[in-house]
């Protein structure tokens, strides 16, 4: 049986790991190479690296940093941030990433998902969605792009279903409402997307306590939980999270 995955996330800006609340008020959280090495050694199941400086454009300068992080990371490594083309995906995979996450560019050009899946296999293509509760319709979420700065008319669940059909292998689902609040994941959002697709869903945004991880897996029905604040600032180790989930009957890689 596959285990549920614990995935720390490095949001990288100007070569430093940062973490904010609702995507704003960023706080320094350390050096990406050091943190990446630590999580790989501590037993994280994967590592996600998002260049949040990129927002709109892919920055070539990030490649060097990705290479450095990858040198010490012996767990699956996903990289994203401003990725727009097949060539950029290829470059990232050659730099040591196993998977590449696409966000804004996929919304603007959904064919990119299909092209990437065809070339690199769908296990390589992670669709990242930044979701915000709709003010117009309750129980709905809208897709936001450009690092969450621009809301679109796209419905999150519909977009996830479409992306799966196009060839996305996984969905990294971030709740902008919950991001950095430490108040728990948005499990209504997680459940709505998990129910609609068959590919794995990674819950992101809001982890503050150990039970939040459990709730996302049970109530949100997700395959993996991503976190930043609670690991970067030392609240919990990866091992503590896994031990906790294990005692509650969740299969983990321990």
Partner 1 sequence: MIIVVDYDIGNVKSVCNALRHIGCEAKLSRLPEDIETASGLVLPGVAAFCYAVKALGREAESVKKAALSGKPLLGICVGYQMLFEQSCEYGVHKGLGLIKGKVVPIPAGRVIPHMGWNIVKPSPDMKLFAGLEKEKHFYFAHSFYAEVADPDAKIAYTDYGFDFAASVQKKNIYGTQFHPEKSGPQGLRILKNFARICERGKQKC
Nearest approach, Cβ of residue 124 and partner 1 (Å): 7
**Binding of partner 1 by 169 (CB under 8 A):** yes
The candidate with the shortest Cα–Cα distance to 178, out of 222, 210, 208, is: 208
| Residue window 144-163: x/- pattern of binding to partner 1, with contact defined by CB under 8 A | --------------------
Both tokens of 164, joined, read: 């799966």
Nearer to partner 1, 74 or 233 (CB): 74
Q: What is the rounded distance in angstroms from the CA atom of residue 131 to the CA atom of residue 37?
A: 30
CB count in 10 Å sphere of residue 135: 9
Both tokens of 115, joined, read: 């092209």
Could you tell me which stretch among 71-79, 102-110, 211-219, 228-236 binds partner 1 (CB under 8 A)? 71-79
Select the residue interacting with partner 1 from 27, 56, 121, 247 (CB under 8 A). Answer: 121
Q: Are the C-beta atoms of 175 and 205 separated by less than 8 Å? A: yes
Select the residue interacting with partner 1 from 53, 55, 88, 95 (CB under 8 A). Answer: 95
Q: Is 28 a catalytic residue?
A: no
**Binding of partner 1 by 217 (CB under 8 A):** no
Nearest approach, Cβ of residue 180 and partner 1 (Å): 26
How far is CA 92 from each of CA 40, 48, 193, rounded to the nearest angstrom?
Answer: 19, 13, 27
**Binding of partner 1 by 164 (CB under 8 A):** no
């Amino acid at each position: 049986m596959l285990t549920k995955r614990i995935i720390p996330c490095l949001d990288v800006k100007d070569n430093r790991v940062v973490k904010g609340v609702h995507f704003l008020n960023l706080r320094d959280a350390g050096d990406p190479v050091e943190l990446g090495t630590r999580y790989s050694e501590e037993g994280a199941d994967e590592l996600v690296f998002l260049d949040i400086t990129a927002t709109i454009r892919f920055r070539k300068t990030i490649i060097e940093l990705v290479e450095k992080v990858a040198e010490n990371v012996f767990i699956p490594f996903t990289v994203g941030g401003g990725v727009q083309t097949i060539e950029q995906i290829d470059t990232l995979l050659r730099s040591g990433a196993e998977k590449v996450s696409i966000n804004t560019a996929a919304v603007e050009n959904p064919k990119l998902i299909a092209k990437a899946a065809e070339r690199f296999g769908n296990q390589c293509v992670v669709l990242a969605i930044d979701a915000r509760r709709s003010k117009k319709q309750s129980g709905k979420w809208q897709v936001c792009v450009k690092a969450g700065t621009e809301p679109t008319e796209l419905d999150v669940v519909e977009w996830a279903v479409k992306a799966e059909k196009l060839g996305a292998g996984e969905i990294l689902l971030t709740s902008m409402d919950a991001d950095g609040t430490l108040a728990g994941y948005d499990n209504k959002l997680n459940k709505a997307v998990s129910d609609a697709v068959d590919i794995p869903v990674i819950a992101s945004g809001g982890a503050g306590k150990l039970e939040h991880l459990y709730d996302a897996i049970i109530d949100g029905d997700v395959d993996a939980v991503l976190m930043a604040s609670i690991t970067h600032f030392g609240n919990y180790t990866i091992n503590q999270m896994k031990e906790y989930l294990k005692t509650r009957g969740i299969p983990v890689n321990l």
